[in-house]
Amino acid sequence: MDSLEPRKVLSLLFIIAIAVVFTLQFGPGSNGFATGQPGVEAAPSAAAVVNGREIPVQEFRREYAGQIQYLRQQGSPVTEAVARQFGLPQQVLERMVNTELLAQAAERHGLRASDEELLKILHRSPEFQKDGQFDYATYQATLRDYFRQTPADYEEDLRKRLTAQKMLEMVQNGAAVSDDEVRTRFEKEGNQARIVFARFLPTMYADKVPAPTAADLTTFKQSHEKEIKEYYEANRFVYQQPERIRARQILLKVPANATPEQKAQVLARAQGLAKELEGGKDFGEVARASSEDAGSKANGGDLGWVERGNWEPELANAAFALEAGKVTQPIETKYGIHLVKVEDKKPAQDKKLEEVQDEIATSLYKREKAKDLAQAEAQKALAELKAGKALTALFPPEKEGQPALLRFETETRPEAVQTDIFNAASTNVPHLGPAPDLLTAIFAAKGPAPLDQAYPVGEGFVVAQVTERQLPDDANFAAKKDELRKQAVQAKEYEVADSFLKQLKKSSKVETNAAAIDQVAGG
């Protein structure tokens, strides 16, 4: 037999690769490279090594390019930078590692894709067809021109994918659900509610808390000694900081293989810019026009606050020796030639607990009192709610007809937030997140009604009113039973496949080559 691979870099890659646990990589419970050898580097020629078997860099490069191409074909304007931001290179390699793990497991179980199964895939792939029929010449040309693979190499890769899929199917065939599981699923999904709630956060009342008196502070410190110490330890980085400068830079890059003449030309440019700055030109404007540091150029070279250890010694020594407002002479590092302006300086500090305990105690005191106020206001709102008033009338949105929480803005006062309908299978309350006690109370309600207490959620308190309730009934269960069983089986198949794959990872040795991944993905 010869070999194959689709033209648009993923038609088959996705027919097979997605089937081979693509969903396992992005679904709940995915844990990335949770393998037996974290941090171990693979051989330079491999993107990863799975139990001694290499995944070559060139295969990872091809699959990663295919993933990018596929996303673009689907209308996503994904760039390499965005792909890196969302971890796509690691996800692609993880999928390849999973395929290898499953293929190795299949070998141990005596499973292997047959020639007939390979032919079926090849013959139905439109990339290898001419006039609606599989054409061997088209097949060879596609592999040669688009994937740089021989038929034998392609078919070996395809066989591995199909074998991995067979292993996965064998595992999933053991997924079965009982009538009780189907009924439980129905009762959770059919048990629905919609609520309106308001949050009462300590930050909403902080400005109403006066500073403690000396007597109050003394009493608070005595009764909260443990909390004050814990706060200090958790925030030690605030009280113990190295010397820092706020800086801007202009960077002119020097090629790694630059000749002395080329270096001299770059230095001359930097000296010319230094003279412009000495003549009164604004540093930010010069940086925007001339700097070659992509990360700071658009912001006028602004680097924010910098510690000495963040920079090359020669650059740090020159910059940290300056007064605020001064600019260095051109400084050469491995990155190029720099001009740095020091805009502000902060000396090193090492404040002991004794020096800051009053400051911490005051902050904790005000936080505690603000939380007390938030709870008191929540209780007051609850009383009005139980007296017949509506949360939407008590706490209408401040602007635009939509509460700040749904505009992703800071909440400065309680506002009524209405949720969409959700069911008892939910682990979160919409717009609130995890709130187990509140969820329990919502689905204990038999109909629309205010809940009977203010519930602690996060740092604050929530008052809620159930506005709609739907309970599962037997008539609906009979109509939906088959579909519910299908959904339950699919969920169980995912669960057993995910568990099997995690166990394979746990018992395997996977070495990854971070440098190769970065090189392929442009990191």
pLDDT tens sequence across 242-263: 899 999 999 999 988 889 999 9
Residues 22 and 152 in one domain: yes
- Distance CA(306)–CA(246), nearest Å, equals 6
pLDDT at position 504 over 60? yes
- Distance CA(166)–CA(163), nearest Å, equals 5
Last residue of a domain, which of 309, 328, 347? 347
Tell me whether residue 297 is in a domain: yes
pLDDT at position 176 over 80? no
Tell me whether residue 322 is in a domain: yes
Instruction: Show the tokens assigned to 348.
Output: 């090193």
Q: Widest CA span of the chain, in angstroms?
A: 92
Residues 145 and 35 in one domain: yes
- State the residue range of the domain holding 397: 192-213+354-470
What are the E-state strand segments in 268-357? 302-307, 331-333, 336-346, 349-350
**pLDDT classification of 429: cutoffs 50, 70, 90:** very high
The predicted structure's pLDDT at residue 44: 60
- Distance CA(201)–CA(377), nearest Å, equals 10
Tens digit of each residue's pLDDT (9 = 90 or more) over 42-80: 556 789 999 999 998 888 988 888 888 888 888 777 777
Give 469's Cβ-side CA count (13 Å radius): 14
Q: What does DSSP say about strands 302-307 and 129-130: parallel, antiparallel, or unpaired?
A: unpaired
Residues 287 and 430 in one domain: no
Residues 418 and 517 in one domain: no
Lowest mean pLDDT among 178-187, 435-444, 502-511: 178-187
What are the E-state strand segments in 327-459? 331-333, 336-346, 349-350, 417-418, 422-423, 449-450, 455-457
Tell me whether residue 433 is in a domain: yes
Residues 383 and 436 in one domain: yes
Tens digit of each residue's pLDDT (9 = 90 or more) over 101-160: 999 999 999 999 888 988 998 998 888 899 889 999 998 888 888 777 888 888 888 998
Tell me whether residue 237 is in a domain: no
The predicted structure's pLDDT at residue 268: 95
Tell me whether residue 187 is in a domain: no
The CATH number given to whatever domain includes residue 47 is 1.10.4030.10
Residues 137 and 97 in one domain: yes
Number of domains in the chain: 3
- Nearest to 64, CA basis, from 44, 90, 31: 90
Residues 296 and 147 in one domain: no
Q: Which range, 15-29, 83-97, 175-189, 359-373, is most confident?
A: 359-373
Tell me whether residue 508 is in a domain: yes
Q: In Å, how far are 110, 163, 207, 459, 498 from 503, measured between CA atoms? A: 19, 19, 53, 38, 9
For residue 145, the 8-state DSSP code is: I
- Distance CA(168)–CA(103), nearest Å, equals 9
pLDDT at position 301 over 90? yes
Q: What does DSSP say about strands 46-50 and 53-56: parallel, antiparallel, or unpaired?
A: antiparallel
**pLDDT classification of 409: cutoffs 50, 70, 90:** confident
Tell me whether residue 478 is in a domain: no
Contact yes or no for 167/106 (Cβ under 8 A):
yes
pLDDT at position 483 over 80? no
Mean pLDDT score across all residues of the chain:
85
- Distance CA(374)–CA(203), nearest Å, equals 9
The predicted structure's pLDDT at residue 475: 64
Residues 339 and 364 in one domain: no
The predicted structure's pLDDT at residue 402: 83
What are the E-state strand segments in 112-205? 129-130, 133-134, 192-200
The predicted structure's pLDDT at residue 8: 32
Residues 115 and 36 in one domain: yes
pTM for the full predicted model: 0.51
Residues 318 and 255 in one domain: yes
Tell me whether residue 186 is in a domain: no
Instruction: Show the tokens assigned to 63.
Output: 């699959």
The predicted structure's pLDDT at residue 479: 67
Other beta carbons within 10 angstroms of residue 187's beta carbon come to 15
